Structure 1
Amino acid sequence: MLLIILLLLLLTNITAISVSLKDIIERALRMHSAMRNGEPLGSPWQEGIFLATSETFKLFGSSSKPKAGDKIVYACGAFDLFNVGHLAFLERAKSLGDYLIVGVYSDEEIIQTEGYHPIMSLYERALCAFAYKPVDEILLGAPKFIEEELLERFKIDIVVRGIATSSFDQERFAVPKKRGILRIIDSGSSVTTETILERIIETRSSPDSMKNEGTSRLCNDVFYNEMDITYNPQYPVEQIG
C-alpha cells in the first residue's frame, strides 16, 4: 500500500516531493546499520530535504469541514512507513463517526518517546495519511498526551487507539477514558511498521535478493508480499486522494 501512495505522489506531478521506494528502503537499511553498530539514532535518515507547501496538502486533502451534528473521531499515531495496517485502523476509526481527524506525531516527539528518528519525516507521514479517503483533517505535530484542550478545540466526540497497551498508553489516553469517549479498535491486520522493517532487512540480507535485479526486486518482495491479502478496504484504491 505504501507503493500505491508513492505512485500517487508521482502521478500527481508534485515536483517538490522526491520520495521513492528505493529511498525509503535505503533509509531503513541506514537505521538498521546504526542500531547494529550502536550509533546515534536521533538524526534524520533521509539525505535530501523534503519540500512541501500548503498547495501540496490541498492536492491530497478533502478540504471539507465538519457539518453540524457530525460525530468527530480522533485518531493519532506516528504512521511511519504507512501501510495496510494503518489503513485498516483508520478505516475502522472512520466507521465510528462522520469526520475523522488524524494526529501525526512530530519527529522530535517520536525521538523522545521511542529513542529513534522515524524513517519518514513528519510531512511525508502526514501526506501519506492525508492521501487516504477516510481522513478528513490532519493535525501536524500532534501531542502524545490527549488533554481537555485538544478535545474541546476540535469538538471531538470519540478518541480511538489500537489494541497494543502499555502503562504509558494508559496515561496518554487517561482524559478521553475518563470522559467515556475512548474506543479501542483492532485493525485486523498483522502488518505493522515493525514487520515491514523486518521484511526489508530479511530480504536485503538474502544472498540473491539484489542479484541482477537491483532495488526493484527488493521493492516487490517487501511491499507486494507484505500485503495482507485478507484485508478488503472499504474504499477502493481509485478513491484514495
Structure 2
Amino acid sequence: MSRTVITFGTFDVFHVGHLRVIERAASLGDRLVVGVSADALNERKKGRPPVFSQAERLAIVAALKPVDEVFVEESLELKRDYILKYAADVLVMGDDWKGKFDEFSDVCDVVYLPRTPAISTTALIEKISGTV
C-alpha cells in the first residue's frame, strides 16, 4: 500500500536545509506533496514579503526529484483540509513546531524532523543584506 507524505514551508532563498527536510520527508513514503506558503501567508507569518515570489518558489520545489506534487498553502488554518484533500498518511514538520500539529494524529501520522543545524533562511537574508 502506498503512503503519501505531506509537508509545508515557505522555501524562500532555497538552501541545503530545505533540501534535507524534503529528502527526509520523501523517505517516509512513496509520494511527497509539498505545500508552499502563499506570498500573503508568508507576509502574515514573517512580517515581510518573501525574497522569491510564490511562482518562483513553487517552480523550485516542483523541480526537485523527491517532490511529486506542489500546491499553494493559503492559510495555516487549512492544514487539516490539505491533509484530507491530498489523502496524506504522514504529515512532516520541522521540530521547531513540535506538538503544534498533534491534533492531526487522528487522520495521519505526525512526524517532526530535526532542523539542519546552523541554517536559517532569515539568517541568510540578514547576512546577504548586510544587516548582521
Q: What is the TM-score normalised by the length of structure 1?
A: 0.50
Work out whether residues 72 and 158 of structure 1, in 8 Å CA contact, stay in contact via their aligned partners in 2: yes
For residues 117-132 of structure 1, what are the structure 2 equivalents within 5 Å? 117-132=49-64
Report the count of equivalent residues: 131
Please give the secondary structure, in 2, of the residue aligned with 1:164. Answer: helix
Partner of 1:195: 123
Partner of 2:112: 184
* Misfit runs of 4+, over 6 Å: none
Distance 2:3 2:64 in 1: 19
Larger radius of gyration: 1
- Point out where structure 1 has 5 or more consecutive residues left out of the alignment: 1-68, 206-241
Alpha-carbon distance between aligned partners in 2 of 1:141 and 1:179, rounded to the nearest angstrom: 19
Could you say what the CA RMSD is over the residues aligned between the two structures, in angstroms?
2.2
- Taking only the aligned residue pairs, the percentage that are identical comes to 30
Deviation at 1:142, TM superposition (A): 4.3
Deviation at 1:130, TM superposition (A): 1.1
Q: Which one of the candidate residues 16, 26, 33 is aligned to 1:84?
A: 16
3-state SS in 1 of match to 2:97: coil
The structure with the greater share of residues assigned to strand is 2
Q: Which residue of 2 aligns with 1:96?
A: 28
Asked if structure 2 preserves the Cα contact closer than 8 Å seen for 1:89 and 1:187, the reply is yes
Matches within 5 A, 1:1-241: 69-145=1-77, 146-147=79-80, 149-165=81-97, 170=100, 173-179=101-107, 181-202=109-130
SS of corresponding position for 1:191: coil
If the length of structure 2 is used for normalisation, what is the TM-score?
0.86
Aligned AA for 2:103?
V
CA contact (8 A) 1:75 1:161 kept: yes
- What runs of 5+ residues in structure 2 fail to find an aligned partner? none
Change in Cα spacing, 1:138 to 1:102, as seen in structure 2 (3 Å) is same
